[in-house]
Structure 1
Amino acid sequence: MKTCLAEVLSAEAAALYQRLLAAGKLSLHEEPMLRDAGPTRELIERGFARERHVGRPELVPVEPVRAMDNAILLIQRQITDRYEGLLRVREEVEALQQHYLGAKDWGRLPEDRIRVLTDGAEIGALSVELCLSARRDVMSIETEHFNRPPDPQSVRRPPAAAVARGVTFRNIYTRGVLDLPGSAQMLRASVEAGWQCRIYPELPMKMVLVDGQTALLPLGPTGMEGALLVRTPVITSALRTFFDLLWHRAVPVNGTRERLSSEQDQVLRLLLTGMIDKAIARHLGISERTVRRHVGALMQRLGANNRVTLAATAVREGWAD
Protein backbone atom coordinates (compact mmCIF):
# COMPACT_ATOMS: atom_id res chain seq x y z
CA MET A 1 0.00 0.00 0.00
CA LYS A 2 2.77 2.41 0.91
CA THR A 3 4.47 1.89 -2.46
CA CYS A 4 1.35 2.68 -4.51
CA LEU A 5 0.35 5.62 -2.28
CA ALA A 6 3.80 7.16 -2.71
CA GLU A 7 2.98 7.59 -6.41
CA VAL A 8 0.04 9.90 -5.70
CA LEU A 9 0.41 11.24 -2.12
CA SER A 10 3.07 12.89 0.00
CA ALA A 11 4.53 10.77 2.80
CA GLU A 12 2.54 12.73 5.44
CA ALA A 13 -0.76 12.38 3.56
CA ALA A 14 -0.13 8.67 2.91
CA ALA A 15 0.51 8.10 6.64
CA LEU A 16 -2.69 9.96 7.55
CA TYR A 17 -4.67 7.88 5.03
CA GLN A 18 -3.27 4.67 6.53
CA ARG A 19 -4.36 5.92 9.93
CA LEU A 20 -7.83 6.73 8.60
CA LEU A 21 -8.22 3.27 7.08
CA ALA A 22 -7.22 1.64 10.33
CA ALA A 23 -9.51 3.81 12.49
CA GLY A 24 -12.42 4.13 10.07
CA LYS A 25 -12.77 7.83 10.93
CA LEU A 26 -11.05 10.64 12.84
CA SER A 27 -12.84 13.26 14.90
CA LEU A 28 -12.08 16.80 13.77
CA HIS A 29 -13.67 17.97 17.01
CA GLU A 30 -11.22 16.02 19.15
CA GLU A 31 -8.27 16.77 16.85
CA PRO A 32 -9.00 20.31 15.55
CA MET A 33 -5.47 20.62 14.18
CA LEU A 34 -6.36 18.04 11.54
CA ARG A 35 -8.94 20.31 9.87
CA ASP A 36 -6.43 22.81 8.48
CA ALA A 37 -3.43 20.50 8.26
CA GLY A 38 -1.72 20.13 4.89
CA PRO A 39 -2.06 16.32 4.72
CA THR A 40 -5.79 16.58 5.44
CA ARG A 41 -6.34 19.12 2.66
CA GLU A 42 -4.26 16.95 0.33
CA LEU A 43 -6.37 13.86 1.02
CA ILE A 44 -9.61 15.76 0.44
CA GLU A 45 -8.36 17.50 -2.74
CA ARG A 46 -7.09 14.23 -4.20
CA GLY A 47 -10.26 12.31 -3.34
CA PHE A 48 -8.86 10.05 -0.62
CA ALA A 49 -10.97 11.46 2.22
CA ARG A 50 -13.98 13.64 2.89
CA GLU A 51 -15.47 15.56 5.78
CA ARG A 52 -18.67 14.25 7.30
CA HIS A 53 -20.91 16.40 9.50
CA VAL A 54 -23.23 14.10 11.41
CA GLY A 55 -23.22 15.59 14.85
CA ARG A 56 -19.56 16.43 15.34
CA PRO A 57 -17.37 16.87 12.23
CA GLU A 58 -15.33 13.84 11.18
CA LEU A 59 -12.75 12.95 8.58
CA VAL A 60 -13.59 9.65 6.87
CA PRO A 61 -11.63 7.71 4.26
CA VAL A 62 -12.73 7.02 0.71
CA GLU A 63 -12.37 3.34 -0.13
CA PRO A 64 -8.88 2.65 -1.65
CA VAL A 65 -9.95 1.53 -5.14
CA ARG A 66 -12.23 4.55 -5.66
CA ALA A 67 -9.63 6.87 -4.11
CA MET A 68 -6.94 5.63 -6.49
CA ASP A 69 -9.31 6.07 -9.45
CA ASN A 70 -9.88 9.67 -8.31
CA ALA A 71 -6.12 10.22 -8.13
CA ILE A 72 -5.53 8.73 -11.59
CA LEU A 73 -8.24 10.90 -13.15
CA LEU A 74 -6.76 13.99 -11.52
CA ILE A 75 -3.28 13.16 -12.81
CA GLN A 76 -4.65 12.47 -16.30
CA ARG A 77 -6.34 15.89 -16.34
CA GLN A 78 -3.11 17.53 -15.18
CA ILE A 79 -1.11 15.77 -17.90
CA THR A 80 -3.65 16.75 -20.56
CA ASP A 81 -3.65 20.37 -19.40
CA ARG A 82 0.15 20.40 -19.34
CA TYR A 83 0.36 18.87 -22.82
CA GLU A 84 -2.11 21.37 -24.27
CA GLY A 85 -0.21 24.18 -22.57
CA LEU A 86 3.05 23.01 -24.11
CA LEU A 87 1.43 22.88 -27.55
CA ARG A 88 0.29 26.48 -27.12
CA VAL A 89 3.80 27.47 -26.05
CA ARG A 90 5.22 25.72 -29.12
CA GLU A 91 2.86 27.65 -31.39
CA GLU A 92 3.85 30.92 -29.72
CA VAL A 93 7.55 30.06 -30.10
CA GLU A 94 7.03 29.35 -33.80
CA ALA A 95 5.42 32.77 -34.20
CA LEU A 96 8.38 34.33 -32.38
CA GLN A 97 10.76 32.38 -34.60
CA GLN A 98 9.11 33.75 -37.73
CA HIS A 99 9.23 37.25 -36.25
CA TYR A 100 12.91 36.75 -35.46
CA LEU A 101 13.69 35.49 -38.95
CA GLY A 102 11.69 38.28 -40.56
CA ALA A 103 13.53 40.95 -38.60
CA LYS A 104 17.02 39.86 -39.63
CA ASP A 105 19.10 41.47 -42.35
CA TRP A 106 19.51 38.37 -44.49
CA GLY A 107 21.79 40.10 -46.95
CA ARG A 108 24.22 40.62 -44.09
CA LEU A 109 23.64 37.45 -42.04
CA PRO A 110 22.83 34.61 -44.48
CA GLU A 111 24.30 32.02 -42.11
CA ASP A 112 21.18 32.20 -39.95
CA ARG A 113 19.13 30.73 -42.78
CA ILE A 114 21.75 28.79 -44.74
CA ARG A 115 24.52 27.03 -42.86
CA VAL A 116 27.27 24.77 -44.22
CA LEU A 117 27.98 21.59 -42.24
CA THR A 118 31.13 19.53 -42.82
CA ASP A 119 31.17 17.14 -39.87
CA GLY A 120 29.58 13.79 -40.78
CA ALA A 121 28.61 13.02 -37.20
CA GLU A 122 26.93 16.42 -36.85
CA ILE A 123 25.03 15.90 -40.10
CA GLY A 124 23.75 12.50 -38.96
CA ALA A 125 22.76 13.82 -35.54
CA LEU A 126 21.00 16.82 -37.06
CA SER A 127 18.99 14.59 -39.38
CA VAL A 128 17.71 12.69 -36.33
CA GLU A 129 16.99 15.91 -34.42
CA LEU A 130 14.96 17.29 -37.32
CA CYS A 131 12.77 14.17 -37.36
CA LEU A 132 12.27 14.42 -33.60
CA SER A 133 11.14 18.04 -33.89
CA ALA A 134 8.67 17.45 -36.76
CA ARG A 135 5.08 18.53 -36.19
CA ARG A 136 3.45 17.70 -39.54
CA ASP A 137 5.60 15.76 -41.98
CA VAL A 138 9.07 14.52 -42.84
CA MET A 139 9.92 14.20 -46.55
CA SER A 140 13.03 12.30 -47.52
CA ILE A 141 14.77 11.50 -50.80
CA GLU A 142 17.26 8.63 -50.91
CA THR A 143 19.62 7.82 -53.77
CA GLU A 144 21.76 4.74 -54.40
CA HIS A 145 24.86 6.45 -53.00
CA PHE A 146 25.79 5.11 -49.55
CA ASN A 147 29.00 5.07 -47.55
CA ARG A 148 28.17 1.45 -46.71
CA PRO A 149 25.72 -1.02 -48.33
CA PRO A 150 22.11 -0.67 -47.09
CA ASP A 151 21.55 -2.41 -43.78
CA PRO A 152 17.98 -3.20 -42.64
CA GLN A 153 19.18 -2.95 -39.04
CA SER A 154 20.12 0.71 -39.54
CA VAL A 155 16.77 1.86 -40.94
CA ARG A 156 15.73 5.24 -39.54
CA ARG A 157 12.70 4.57 -37.39
CA PRO A 158 10.16 7.41 -37.05
CA PRO A 159 10.29 8.69 -33.45
CA ALA A 160 7.37 7.33 -31.46
CA ALA A 161 6.60 10.80 -30.08
CA ALA A 162 6.38 12.24 -33.60
CA VAL A 163 4.16 9.39 -34.79
CA ALA A 164 1.89 9.99 -31.80
CA ARG A 165 1.57 13.64 -32.89
CA GLY A 166 0.33 12.45 -36.28
CA VAL A 167 3.54 13.28 -38.18
CA THR A 168 3.69 11.67 -41.66
CA PHE A 169 6.98 10.13 -42.85
CA ARG A 170 7.46 9.80 -46.63
CA ASN A 171 10.53 8.59 -48.50
CA ILE A 172 11.26 8.48 -52.24
CA TYR A 173 14.01 6.08 -53.37
CA THR A 174 15.77 6.27 -56.70
CA ARG A 175 15.40 3.18 -58.91
CA GLY A 176 19.09 2.40 -58.45
CA VAL A 177 18.52 1.56 -54.79
CA LEU A 178 16.68 -1.61 -55.81
CA ASP A 179 19.86 -2.98 -57.40
CA LEU A 180 21.86 -2.78 -54.18
CA PRO A 181 22.37 -5.90 -52.02
CA GLY A 182 20.01 -5.89 -49.06
CA SER A 183 17.74 -3.22 -50.59
CA ALA A 184 14.59 -5.37 -50.48
CA GLN A 185 15.05 -6.03 -46.77
CA MET A 186 15.81 -2.34 -46.16
CA LEU A 187 12.65 -1.20 -47.95
CA ARG A 188 10.54 -3.75 -46.10
CA ALA A 189 12.05 -2.67 -42.78
CA SER A 190 11.40 0.98 -43.63
CA VAL A 191 7.71 0.33 -44.31
CA GLU A 192 7.36 -1.77 -41.15
CA ALA A 193 8.99 1.08 -39.20
CA GLY A 194 6.32 3.52 -40.43
CA TRP A 195 7.72 5.10 -43.60
CA GLN A 196 5.60 5.50 -46.74
CA CYS A 197 7.94 4.53 -49.58
CA ARG A 198 7.89 5.08 -53.33
CA ILE A 199 10.34 4.60 -56.21
CA TYR A 200 11.32 7.18 -58.85
CA PRO A 201 13.48 6.38 -61.91
CA GLU A 202 16.31 8.81 -61.19
CA LEU A 203 16.90 11.41 -58.51
CA PRO A 204 19.63 14.07 -58.45
CA MET A 205 20.36 14.11 -54.71
CA LYS A 206 19.38 13.11 -51.21
CA MET A 207 17.22 15.42 -49.12
CA VAL A 208 15.45 15.72 -45.79
CA LEU A 209 12.66 18.31 -45.51
CA VAL A 210 10.78 18.81 -42.24
CA ASP A 211 7.42 20.60 -42.03
CA GLY A 212 8.26 22.38 -45.28
CA GLN A 213 10.42 24.77 -43.24
CA THR A 214 13.83 23.18 -42.71
CA ALA A 215 15.85 21.24 -45.27
CA LEU A 216 19.09 19.28 -45.14
CA LEU A 217 20.73 19.15 -48.57
CA PRO A 218 23.94 17.26 -49.46
CA LEU A 219 27.14 18.72 -50.85
CA GLY A 220 28.22 15.31 -52.11
CA PRO A 221 26.64 12.05 -53.37
CA THR A 222 26.28 10.31 -49.99
CA GLY A 223 25.32 13.42 -48.04
CA MET A 224 28.04 12.83 -45.45
CA GLU A 225 30.79 14.81 -47.24
CA GLY A 226 28.99 17.98 -46.28
CA ALA A 227 25.51 19.45 -46.19
CA LEU A 228 23.51 22.65 -46.26
CA LEU A 229 21.02 23.40 -43.51
CA VAL A 230 18.42 25.62 -45.19
CA ARG A 231 15.68 27.59 -43.48
CA THR A 232 14.97 30.13 -46.20
CA PRO A 233 11.19 30.01 -46.86
CA VAL A 234 11.52 30.64 -50.61
CA ILE A 235 13.88 27.67 -51.00
CA THR A 236 12.07 25.28 -48.64
CA SER A 237 8.76 26.05 -50.34
CA ALA A 238 10.30 25.21 -53.72
CA LEU A 239 11.75 21.99 -52.29
CA ARG A 240 8.34 20.96 -50.96
CA THR A 241 6.76 21.54 -54.36
CA PHE A 242 9.59 19.54 -55.94
CA PHE A 243 9.03 16.65 -53.53
CA ASP A 244 5.24 16.64 -54.05
CA LEU A 245 5.67 16.51 -57.82
CA LEU A 246 8.04 13.57 -57.49
CA TRP A 247 5.73 11.83 -55.01
CA HIS A 248 2.74 11.96 -57.39
CA ARG A 249 4.83 10.47 -60.20
CA ALA A 250 6.65 7.92 -58.07
CA VAL A 251 5.52 4.30 -57.88
CA PRO A 252 4.60 2.71 -54.53
CA VAL A 253 6.99 -0.08 -53.60
CA ASN A 254 5.41 -3.48 -54.28
CA GLY A 255 3.63 -4.67 -51.18
CA THR A 256 4.15 -1.37 -49.39
CA ARG A 257 1.07 0.56 -50.41
CA GLU A 258 0.15 2.81 -47.52
CA ARG A 259 -2.32 1.15 -45.17
CA LEU A 260 -5.41 3.04 -44.07
CA SER A 261 -7.18 2.42 -40.82
CA SER A 262 -10.69 1.01 -41.16
CA GLU A 263 -12.20 4.36 -40.19
CA GLN A 264 -9.98 6.30 -42.63
CA ASP A 265 -10.96 3.92 -45.42
CA GLN A 266 -14.67 4.42 -44.65
CA VAL A 267 -14.28 8.21 -44.54
CA LEU A 268 -12.48 8.19 -47.90
CA ARG A 269 -15.09 6.00 -49.59
CA LEU A 270 -17.97 8.13 -48.30
CA LEU A 271 -16.12 11.30 -49.29
CA LEU A 272 -15.82 9.95 -52.84
CA THR A 273 -19.62 9.55 -52.97
CA GLY A 274 -19.96 13.30 -52.44
CA MET A 275 -21.10 13.16 -48.82
CA ILE A 276 -20.33 16.19 -46.67
CA ASP A 277 -18.54 15.96 -43.31
CA LYS A 278 -21.74 16.18 -41.27
CA ALA A 279 -23.35 13.32 -43.19
CA ILE A 280 -20.19 11.19 -42.95
CA ALA A 281 -20.00 11.79 -39.21
CA ARG A 282 -23.65 10.83 -38.73
CA HIS A 283 -23.27 7.73 -40.90
CA LEU A 284 -20.18 6.47 -39.05
CA GLY A 285 -21.24 7.61 -35.59
CA ILE A 286 -18.21 9.86 -35.09
CA SER A 287 -17.74 13.60 -34.65
CA GLU A 288 -17.33 16.06 -37.53
CA ARG A 289 -14.00 17.02 -35.98
CA THR A 290 -12.83 13.40 -36.33
CA VAL A 291 -13.96 13.34 -39.94
CA ARG A 292 -12.03 16.53 -40.69
CA ARG A 293 -8.97 15.08 -38.95
CA HIS A 294 -9.13 11.95 -41.12
CA VAL A 295 -9.60 14.01 -44.28
CA GLY A 296 -6.62 16.19 -43.32
CA ALA A 297 -4.48 13.10 -42.74
CA LEU A 298 -5.53 11.64 -46.12
CA MET A 299 -4.74 14.91 -47.90
CA GLN A 300 -1.35 15.00 -46.24
CA ARG A 301 -0.53 11.40 -47.15
CA LEU A 302 -1.52 11.90 -50.78
CA GLY A 303 -0.01 15.38 -51.06
CA ALA A 304 -3.37 16.91 -51.97
CA ASN A 305 -4.13 20.55 -51.17
CA ASN A 306 -7.90 20.30 -51.55
CA ARG A 307 -10.64 17.68 -51.55
CA VAL A 308 -11.06 17.60 -55.30
CA THR A 309 -7.39 16.75 -55.73
CA LEU A 310 -7.67 14.25 -52.88
CA ALA A 311 -10.50 12.40 -54.62
CA ALA A 312 -8.73 12.37 -57.99
CA THR A 313 -5.44 11.22 -56.48
CA ALA A 314 -7.10 8.53 -54.35
CA VAL A 315 -8.76 7.05 -57.46
CA ARG A 316 -5.55 7.28 -59.50
CA GLU A 317 -3.48 5.66 -56.75
CA GLY A 318 -5.97 2.85 -56.32
CA TRP A 319 -6.93 3.78 -52.75
CA ALA A 320 -10.60 3.58 -53.67
CA ASP A 321 -10.54 0.08 -55.17
Structure 2
Amino acid sequence: MFLLEPIGLGRAENDVYLALLDAPRASAPQLAERLGDSEPAVLAAVDRLLAAGLVQYVGRHEYAAVSPEVSVSALVQRRQSELAELQVQIDDLARLRQRTGSDGVDAVELLEGDDAVISAIARLQFEARREVLVVDAPPYLGGHCTPNVPELAQLAAGIRYRVVYAPESLEAEENVELMRRCVEAGEEARVLADGALKMVVFDREAAILPSSYQRPDPGRRWLVRRSALLDTIIACFEAQWSRAVPFSAPAPEVSDRDRRLLALLSSGMKDRSIARTMGITERTVGRRVTELMRQLGAETRFQAGVQAAHRGWL
Protein backbone atom coordinates (compact mmCIF):
# COMPACT_ATOMS: atom_id res chain seq x y z
CA MET A 1 0.00 0.00 0.00
CA PHE A 2 1.63 3.26 -1.17
CA LEU A 3 -0.23 5.76 0.99
CA LEU A 4 2.37 8.53 0.97
CA GLU A 5 3.83 8.38 -2.56
CA PRO A 6 1.14 10.69 -4.05
CA ILE A 7 2.13 13.44 -1.59
CA GLY A 8 5.82 13.34 -2.38
CA LEU A 9 7.25 10.91 0.20
CA GLY A 10 9.17 7.77 -0.70
CA ARG A 11 8.78 4.05 -0.08
CA ALA A 12 10.96 4.15 3.05
CA GLU A 13 8.77 6.79 4.72
CA ASN A 14 5.64 4.98 3.54
CA ASP A 15 6.76 1.66 5.10
CA VAL A 16 7.78 3.25 8.41
CA TYR A 17 4.50 5.17 8.64
CA LEU A 18 2.39 2.07 7.94
CA ALA A 19 4.41 0.10 10.51
CA LEU A 20 3.73 2.77 13.12
CA LEU A 21 0.03 2.75 12.28
CA ASP A 22 0.04 -0.96 13.18
CA ALA A 23 1.69 -0.37 16.56
CA PRO A 24 0.86 2.13 19.33
CA ARG A 25 4.53 3.10 19.53
CA ALA A 26 7.92 1.78 18.45
CA SER A 27 11.62 2.59 18.63
CA ALA A 28 13.97 2.82 15.66
CA PRO A 29 15.56 -0.60 16.40
CA GLN A 30 12.11 -2.19 16.60
CA LEU A 31 11.08 -0.62 13.30
CA ALA A 32 14.34 -1.69 11.66
CA GLU A 33 13.82 -5.29 12.78
CA ARG A 34 10.20 -5.33 11.65
CA LEU A 35 10.97 -3.84 8.22
CA GLY A 36 14.21 -5.73 7.64
CA ASP A 37 16.08 -2.46 7.13
CA SER A 38 19.05 -0.75 8.76
CA GLU A 39 18.52 1.49 11.77
CA PRO A 40 20.16 4.56 10.09
CA ALA A 41 17.80 4.20 7.11
CA VAL A 42 14.79 3.96 9.43
CA LEU A 43 15.94 7.01 11.44
CA ALA A 44 16.34 9.02 8.21
CA ALA A 45 12.78 8.10 7.20
CA VAL A 46 11.49 8.97 10.67
CA ASP A 47 13.17 12.40 10.49
CA ARG A 48 11.37 13.13 7.22
CA LEU A 49 8.07 11.95 8.69
CA LEU A 50 8.59 14.16 11.75
CA ALA A 51 9.26 17.15 9.49
CA ALA A 52 6.08 16.40 7.53
CA GLY A 53 4.00 16.16 10.71
CA LEU A 54 3.14 12.49 10.13
CA VAL A 55 4.99 11.13 13.18
CA GLN A 56 5.46 12.43 16.71
CA TYR A 57 7.69 11.64 19.70
CA VAL A 58 5.96 9.66 22.45
CA GLY A 59 9.06 9.00 24.51
CA ARG A 60 12.75 9.65 24.47
CA HIS A 61 13.43 6.93 21.90
CA GLU A 62 9.94 6.01 20.67
CA TYR A 63 7.65 7.30 17.96
CA ALA A 64 3.97 7.08 17.06
CA ALA A 65 2.06 7.82 13.88
CA VAL A 66 -0.23 10.82 13.72
CA SER A 67 -3.71 9.85 12.54
CA PRO A 68 -3.82 9.84 8.70
CA GLU A 69 -7.20 11.56 8.80
CA VAL A 70 -5.38 14.56 10.25
CA SER A 71 -1.79 14.43 9.00
CA VAL A 72 -2.17 13.11 5.43
CA SER A 73 -5.18 15.30 4.79
CA ALA A 74 -3.19 18.32 5.94
CA LEU A 75 -0.37 17.52 3.49
CA VAL A 76 -2.81 17.08 0.62
CA GLN A 77 -4.46 20.39 1.47
CA ARG A 78 -1.05 22.08 1.57
CA ARG A 79 -0.24 20.85 -1.96
CA GLN A 80 -3.67 21.95 -3.17
CA SER A 81 -3.12 25.34 -1.54
CA GLU A 82 0.20 25.80 -3.37
CA LEU A 83 -1.49 25.05 -6.68
CA ALA A 84 -4.44 27.32 -5.88
CA GLU A 85 -2.13 30.19 -4.92
CA LEU A 86 -0.28 30.02 -8.24
CA GLN A 87 -3.59 29.78 -10.11
CA VAL A 88 -4.88 32.91 -8.33
CA GLN A 89 -1.77 34.85 -9.33
CA ILE A 90 -2.15 33.66 -12.92
CA ASP A 91 -5.77 34.76 -12.99
CA ASP A 92 -5.07 38.12 -11.33
CA LEU A 93 -2.22 39.03 -13.64
CA ALA A 94 -4.14 37.76 -16.67
CA ARG A 95 -6.85 40.33 -15.88
CA LEU A 96 -4.15 42.98 -15.74
CA ARG A 97 -2.31 41.87 -18.85
CA GLN A 98 -2.86 45.24 -20.54
CA ARG A 99 -0.38 46.75 -18.08
CA THR A 100 2.93 47.00 -19.93
CA GLY A 101 6.44 46.48 -18.64
CA SER A 102 9.42 48.75 -19.09
CA ASP A 103 9.98 47.46 -22.63
CA GLY A 104 6.47 48.43 -23.67
CA VAL A 105 5.02 44.94 -24.16
CA ASP A 106 2.27 43.14 -22.27
CA ALA A 107 3.44 41.22 -19.21
CA VAL A 108 0.94 38.45 -20.00
CA GLU A 109 -0.20 37.33 -23.44
CA LEU A 110 -2.65 34.57 -24.33
CA LEU A 111 -1.48 32.13 -27.01
CA GLU A 112 -4.38 30.35 -28.72
CA GLY A 113 -4.08 27.43 -31.10
CA ASP A 114 -1.48 24.69 -31.55
CA ASP A 115 0.47 26.62 -34.19
CA ALA A 116 0.80 29.71 -32.00
CA VAL A 117 1.98 27.65 -29.02
CA ILE A 118 4.49 25.58 -31.04
CA SER A 119 5.87 28.68 -32.77
CA ALA A 120 6.33 30.62 -29.52
CA ILE A 121 8.06 27.72 -27.72
CA ALA A 122 10.44 27.11 -30.63
CA ARG A 123 11.25 30.81 -31.09
CA LEU A 124 11.93 31.45 -27.41
CA GLN A 125 14.12 28.34 -27.16
CA PHE A 126 16.27 29.42 -30.09
CA GLU A 127 16.50 32.95 -28.61
CA ALA A 128 17.70 31.61 -25.23
CA ARG A 129 21.36 32.31 -24.52
CA ARG A 130 21.87 30.86 -21.05
CA GLU A 131 19.29 28.44 -19.63
CA VAL A 132 15.91 26.84 -20.28
CA LEU A 133 13.88 25.44 -17.37
CA VAL A 134 11.21 22.85 -18.18
CA VAL A 135 8.57 20.89 -16.30
CA ASP A 136 7.55 18.16 -18.75
CA ALA A 137 4.00 17.09 -17.89
CA PRO A 138 0.62 16.67 -19.62
CA PRO A 139 -1.34 18.08 -21.37
CA TYR A 140 0.58 17.69 -24.64
CA LEU A 141 -0.21 19.22 -28.00
CA GLY A 142 -1.64 16.47 -30.18
CA GLY A 143 -2.22 14.34 -27.08
CA HIS A 144 1.27 12.81 -26.92
CA CYS A 145 4.89 13.68 -26.18
CA THR A 146 7.04 14.58 -29.22
CA PRO A 147 10.80 15.18 -29.68
CA ASN A 148 12.01 18.63 -28.68
CA VAL A 149 14.19 19.37 -31.71
CA PRO A 150 15.17 22.90 -30.55
CA GLU A 151 16.44 21.44 -27.25
CA LEU A 152 18.89 19.08 -28.93
CA ALA A 153 20.20 21.91 -31.10
CA GLN A 154 20.51 24.31 -28.14
CA LEU A 155 22.25 21.71 -25.98
CA ALA A 156 24.79 21.31 -28.76
CA ALA A 157 25.25 25.10 -28.68
CA GLY A 158 25.99 25.05 -24.93
CA ILE A 159 22.60 26.18 -23.58
CA ARG A 160 21.84 24.64 -20.20
CA TYR A 161 18.58 22.67 -19.85
CA ARG A 162 17.12 21.64 -16.48
CA VAL A 163 14.06 19.43 -16.92
CA VAL A 164 11.65 17.99 -14.35
CA TYR A 165 9.61 15.04 -15.66
CA ALA A 166 6.19 14.04 -14.35
CA PRO A 167 5.53 10.26 -14.09
CA GLU A 168 2.82 10.57 -16.79
CA SER A 169 5.38 11.91 -19.27
CA LEU A 170 7.45 8.70 -18.97
CA GLU A 171 4.71 6.08 -19.18
CA ALA A 172 5.47 5.20 -22.81
CA GLU A 173 8.78 3.52 -23.71
CA GLU A 174 9.37 5.96 -26.57
CA ASN A 175 9.13 8.89 -24.13
CA VAL A 176 11.82 7.34 -21.91
CA GLU A 177 13.98 6.95 -25.01
CA LEU A 178 13.46 10.64 -25.84
CA MET A 179 14.58 11.58 -22.35
CA ARG A 180 17.61 9.30 -22.65
CA ARG A 181 18.65 11.06 -25.86
CA CYS A 182 18.38 14.48 -24.24
CA VAL A 183 20.28 13.37 -21.13
CA GLU A 184 23.06 11.96 -23.29
CA ALA A 185 23.18 15.33 -25.08
CA GLY A 186 23.68 17.17 -21.77
CA GLU A 187 20.24 17.72 -20.28
CA GLU A 188 20.02 17.76 -16.48
CA ALA A 189 16.95 15.63 -15.77
CA ARG A 190 14.97 14.85 -12.64
CA VAL A 191 11.72 12.96 -11.98
CA LEU A 192 9.01 14.31 -9.66
CA ALA A 193 6.64 11.69 -8.26
CA ASP A 194 3.68 14.03 -7.72
CA GLY A 195 2.26 17.46 -8.38
CA ALA A 196 4.33 18.48 -11.43
CA LEU A 197 3.13 21.87 -12.76
CA LYS A 198 3.81 22.19 -16.49
CA MET A 199 5.93 25.20 -17.57
CA VAL A 200 8.88 26.37 -19.67
CA VAL A 201 11.10 29.30 -18.61
CA PHE A 202 13.52 30.96 -21.04
CA ASP A 203 16.59 32.78 -19.64
CA ARG A 204 14.41 33.85 -16.68
CA GLU A 205 13.01 36.50 -19.04
CA ALA A 206 9.85 34.77 -20.23
CA ALA A 207 7.76 31.68 -19.52
CA ILE A 208 5.00 29.66 -21.14
CA LEU A 209 2.51 27.73 -19.02
CA PRO A 210 -1.04 26.35 -19.33
CA SER A 211 -3.91 28.83 -19.28
CA SER A 212 -5.27 26.87 -16.30
CA TYR A 213 -3.91 24.04 -14.13
CA GLN A 214 -7.44 23.14 -13.05
CA ARG A 215 -8.87 22.85 -16.58
CA PRO A 216 -5.78 22.54 -18.83
CA ASP A 217 -6.21 23.06 -22.56
CA PRO A 218 -3.13 22.10 -24.65
CA GLY A 219 -3.95 24.73 -27.25
CA ARG A 220 -4.22 27.67 -24.80
CA ARG A 221 -1.09 28.92 -23.01
CA TRP A 222 0.01 32.06 -21.22
CA LEU A 223 3.20 33.77 -22.36
CA VAL A 224 4.53 35.61 -19.30
CA ARG A 225 7.29 38.20 -19.50
CA ARG A 226 9.22 39.95 -16.71
CA SER A 227 6.79 40.57 -13.88
CA ALA A 228 5.92 39.47 -10.36
CA LEU A 229 4.16 36.46 -11.90
CA LEU A 230 7.34 35.40 -13.72
CA ASP A 231 9.25 35.56 -10.42
CA THR A 232 6.59 33.30 -8.87
CA ILE A 233 6.79 30.85 -11.78
CA ILE A 234 10.58 30.60 -11.45
CA ALA A 235 10.27 30.03 -7.69
CA CYS A 236 7.70 27.30 -8.41
CA PHE A 237 10.10 25.60 -10.83
CA GLU A 238 12.95 25.71 -8.30
CA ALA A 239 10.67 24.19 -5.65
CA GLN A 240 9.78 21.33 -7.98
CA TRP A 241 13.43 20.88 -8.98
CA SER A 242 14.49 20.60 -5.33
CA ARG A 243 11.82 17.93 -4.63
CA ALA A 244 12.56 15.87 -7.73
CA VAL A 245 14.94 12.90 -7.86
CA PRO A 246 18.02 13.24 -10.12
CA PHE A 247 18.11 11.06 -13.19
CA SER A 248 21.49 9.39 -12.65
CA ALA A 249 24.17 8.66 -15.18
CA PRO A 250 24.49 5.03 -16.28
CA ALA A 251 26.12 2.65 -13.78
CA PRO A 252 27.75 -0.79 -14.12
CA GLU A 253 25.61 -3.60 -15.50
CA VAL A 254 23.08 -5.12 -13.11
CA SER A 255 23.22 -8.81 -12.20
CA ASP A 256 20.78 -11.27 -13.76
CA ARG A 257 19.08 -11.81 -10.39
CA ASP A 258 18.61 -8.06 -9.83
CA ARG A 259 17.36 -7.65 -13.39
CA ARG A 260 14.75 -10.36 -12.75
CA LEU A 261 13.79 -8.76 -9.42
CA LEU A 262 13.34 -5.35 -11.08
CA ALA A 263 11.28 -6.87 -13.87
CA LEU A 264 8.95 -8.52 -11.35
CA LEU A 265 8.80 -5.29 -9.34
CA SER A 266 7.91 -3.28 -12.45
CA SER A 267 5.10 -5.71 -13.24
CA GLY A 268 3.40 -4.66 -10.01
CA MET A 269 4.09 -7.81 -7.98
CA LYS A 270 4.26 -7.48 -4.20
CA ASP A 271 7.36 -8.45 -2.22
CA ARG A 272 5.78 -11.68 -1.00
CA SER A 273 4.95 -12.83 -4.53
CA ILE A 274 8.40 -11.85 -5.78
CA ALA A 275 10.02 -13.82 -2.95
CA ARG A 276 7.94 -16.89 -3.76
CA THR A 277 8.74 -16.61 -7.49
CA MET A 278 12.48 -16.18 -6.95
CA GLY A 279 12.78 -18.68 -4.11
CA ILE A 280 14.12 -16.18 -1.57
CA THR A 281 12.73 -14.64 1.62
CA GLU A 282 10.47 -11.62 1.64
CA ARG A 283 12.98 -9.85 3.89
CA THR A 284 15.72 -10.43 1.31
CA VAL A 285 13.51 -8.93 -1.38
CA GLY A 286 12.85 -5.85 0.74
CA ARG A 287 16.52 -5.34 1.54
CA ARG A 288 17.62 -5.74 -2.08
CA VAL A 289 14.90 -3.41 -3.37
CA THR A 290 16.00 -0.79 -0.83
CA GLU A 291 19.63 -1.17 -1.94
CA LEU A 292 18.72 -0.94 -5.63
CA MET A 293 16.65 2.20 -4.97
CA ARG A 294 19.68 3.72 -3.21
CA GLN A 295 21.96 2.85 -6.15
CA LEU A 296 19.45 4.32 -8.59
CA GLY A 297 18.97 7.51 -6.57
CA ALA A 298 15.24 6.80 -6.29
CA GLU A 299 12.90 7.49 -3.39
CA THR A 300 9.95 5.48 -4.71
CA ARG A 301 9.57 2.22 -6.60
CA PHE A 302 8.15 4.10 -9.57
CA GLN A 303 11.28 6.27 -9.74
CA ALA A 304 13.43 3.14 -9.45
CA GLY A 305 11.61 1.66 -12.44
CA VAL A 306 12.22 4.82 -14.49
CA GLN A 307 15.90 4.85 -13.59
CA ALA A 308 16.28 1.13 -14.31
CA ALA A 309 14.65 1.57 -17.72
CA HIS A 310 16.95 4.51 -18.48
CA ARG A 311 20.01 2.40 -17.70
CA GLY A 312 18.81 -0.44 -19.89
CA TRP A 313 18.28 -2.77 -16.94
CA LEU A 314 14.73 -3.66 -18.03
Q: Shorter-chain TM-score: which interval? A: 0.3 to 0.5
TM-score, normalising length: structure 1: 0.41
- Higher Cα Rg: structure 1 or 2? 1
- Higher RCO (C-alpha 8 Å, min separation 6): 2
TM-score, normalising length: structure 2: 0.42
